[in-house]
Structure formats: structure tokens, C-alpha cells
Structure 1
């Protein structure tokens, strides 16, 4: 049976880099994203390189229960063996202080960054248990360091880390990891530079702008390499942990 990984937020940035890396390892990908047009274009390109069944687009909004069902149906209909789930979809905007953030916007952060992860992981748990699969949750340094104006993002990523630890405690046949991908050159960094000045502390905003101008942002392929290696070979003894993509503690698993 063909192995498959499910990757959310797969149409761009880190999610796309992760999807390509899985394909390079001979693992098919169910690529989940909201943009049908973008996924279709990617399918045309990647199928030509990796084969007809390698890249399976699944247009879905992970916050909608019916779309969670569709992702699971995509797995079952294609008769694939789920080896990994990478929960990469996430939101940073809007940036605002706790005192200023609309409570519905706060809820939306948690809906995307936490609740959708739980919902999709729940739905796929039978397959993950059966295949002794791995769940990789894409976290952030903001999970353990507060940034001015990032309250909802920081809190939701901290919650995601505890979801990861809880999964590891509860599921003996599944490995669960939370990974900090570093400061990566993606659309999220563009949001910080273009929309963050008003909400963020000036020194923090300047730091992110300088990382861009000095070439200090990571290409998404670097953390993607680590994430895919861990998804395919991480042992149970490191399950539940929160690691940076370049942590020495995981170096031996990602060579």
C-alpha cells in the first residue's frame, strides 16, 4: 500500500516545501489548502515530475467540520496508508494588543491554530494508530516568547504545544511533535513587515525587517527537511516535545 502524508496549508511557504520534500522521499501527499486554483496548478507541475498519484489536492478549510470529513474521505477513497499528518495551516493576523483585539478575532486564532488541529487529528486518529504514524504540529518561537501585539498567536501556539504533549501522553502508537520552524521567508513575514508596525514594539518590528533586508530569513526548504525526516523516522522517546528545527537534540534523526 502506498504511504501518504497529509499536509495542511500546503499551497505555499513551509507547507509547500514540506509537501515537495515528502514527494522526494517517495511518499505521496494529500495537499490541503483553501485555494483550489493554486492546488490545481501545483498538481499539474508535481504530477509531471512524481507521477499521477503522488500529489493529491484536497481543497478544504480546516475550520469547517464538513471539510475535515472531506480530507478523511480523500484518504479513504485513495486507499492510502497514512504515515504522517503535518498540521501547518495557521494564522498570525490580526496583530493587536489584548486590550484592543476583537474577541471574535481572538477566537478565530484559536479556531485555526488549535481547534482545527484537534479536529483533524481526531478524525485521522484511527489511521494514525493503525499505521503507527506521526503528527507534526508546526509551532513557533512565539509559543514560549511573548511579542507585543501577538497575544492571540502566542497563546494559540503555546496551546498547540500542550495539545502535542497531551497526544504523546494519550496515544502510545502515535508519535507527536511540535516544531519551531525558525524565522522563515514566507508570506507570514511579509505580513509582519507590512502590517505589524502599529501593533508591535518598534525594536521587535525593526528586527524582523532587518532579517529580511540582510538575508537572515530561512528558506522554507531548511525546516521542511527536518520536519519530513522527523515525520518519517522520529522515535517514540522524543514524542510530545517542542523542538526547534535545528535543535542538536534531534540532529541524529534528520541527517
Structure 2
């Protein structure tokens, strides 16, 4: 049976529908859970399975996808989205920190892996989405590191800066969809745990601010951060499509 026939016989998923990447933990898991609570059909991908309580939800549809394996991303997304008639929202959340290190010390192979996950996989996700069901709104989770070249952020800053431009370019190419690169502020996730326990804050002083913010209102948990992001989705559409927005400026 050809692809068109498969699409015609697949069950239609009722609106609204959302796609979230990186749903196994942290912000992605919280976004998926809260979208389900808001009566969305949620389609999620991640390298590791999401928690059982999320995976068991009737309106949650998940498939394994390792975004470091670029060859599988587009085909995996196309299969996941077969039953979707229209996506209301895409949140490109998945990403990795990479190594905190001086640029002269950065290995090109390590930088490439960070760029593959934080940048190129998002291109493939978007290409699969637009081939299947163009969305109304795309929010890419960026970072203040995209515009602040702090000592040590190396591949992470490079990849997030490039992600910002990716949103700007897609906004020019797909004018019917609204794109935003969003810096969500500090969030207490496993990434922050790594920074606090493994990274060298003496060598890279910019990390001190992150460590000091742990356990304070300046670094909320994933659930609180997800709630704030979802609450400002209508506000984001008032910004020019393709813009970079820092949630702390709203």
C-alpha cells in the first residue's frame, strides 16, 4: 500500500495536537504533561522512554528517536505523524549542553555532535512536520547563551545561536507558521545538576551565577517553567515571526 493510501486509512487525530521533542525528562516531560492536561493530543519523541505515568496517558503518542542519529529523524517523525491532520503547536525542546570548555580546546567531533542534536536534528524535524502537517506555531527552546558569548560555553552557544537563525530562516520560508526562538530562563534540570557538580566554575566564572541560583525563585523547576511557557504562547505570536525572545523580558 502506498503512502497516500496509508494516510487515507489512518485514524484522524482530533485537534488540537502538539509535537514536543525531548519528552523523557525535565522541561519536555513537563510540557507534554501540561499540554495533555489542557486537552491536547501530544506527540513526543525522545531517546529514552518517558515516565510510565506519562506514557500511559491515552492522548500521548510517543516513539523513540535519537536525535544524534540524523539518518533516522525524518522517517521516524513521518511515521509518528501519520494520523495527524494538523498540528497546532511544535516545541523543539530537546538539546544537549556539550562540554564546558575553551574554544581552543574544543574537539571538532564533540562540537559536531552538539550541533547535530541542537541544530540539524531540528531542521529534519521541521522538514518532516511540514511535509506531513504544517503547524500553526513553532517554539524552539533556545538560551541566553545564544547571544551571550560567555567563557566556556563553546558548542552550546554556537548551536543555540545557529538555532536562532534557523528559526529566522524558516520564518521567511514558511510565512503561514509563526516561529520563535525562546530563551526560557534558568530551569532546574539535570543540565543544571551537571553544571553544579561536574563543571569547573573556577575556570569558567559565568557558571557561578547558575550555581548560586539553584534552589531560588530564579531557577524554577520544570513544571513551573513549562506552565509559564505555555501561558505566554499567545503573547509570543505578537512578536515578529523568527524572532529571538527571552522570557525574562516579557
TM-score, normalised to structure 2, is 0.86
Matched, 1:122 2:135: no
Contact 2:92 2:140 in 1 (8 A): yes
User: Who is 2:211 aligned against?
Assistant: 209
Seen in structure 2, the aligned counterparts of structure 1 residues 41 and 199 have a Cα distance that, compared at 3 Å, is farther
Runs of 5+ in structure 2 lacking a partner? Answer: 1-13
8 Å Cα contact 2:78/2:129 also seen in 1: yes
Confirm or deny: 8 A CA contact 1:110 1:152 kept in the other structure.
yes
Work out the CA distance in 1 between the residues paired with 2:213 and 2:237: 34
Q: Within 5 A, what are the aligned runs for 1:7-46? A: 7-36=20-49, 38-44=50-56
Any stretches of 5+ residues in structure 1 without a counterpart? 249-255
Please show how residues 43-58 of structure 1 align to structure 2 within 5 Å.
43-44=55-56, 47=57, 52=58, 54-58=59-63
Root mean square deviation of aligned Cα = 2.2
Cα distance change on mapping 1:232 and 1:16 into 2, 3 Å: farther
- SS of 1:82's equivalent in the other structure is coil
1:108 corresponds in structure 2 to: 113
Corresponding pairs, count: 236
Matching residue of 1:240: 242
1:123 and 1:143 mapped to 2: Cα distance? 25
TM-score for the superposition, normalised by structure 1? 0.84
Q: Does 1:63 align with 2:68?
A: yes
Q: Distance in 1 between matches of 2:138 and 2:200?
A: 34
Aligned residue in 2 for 1:75: 81
Deviation at 1:199, TM superposition (A): 7.9
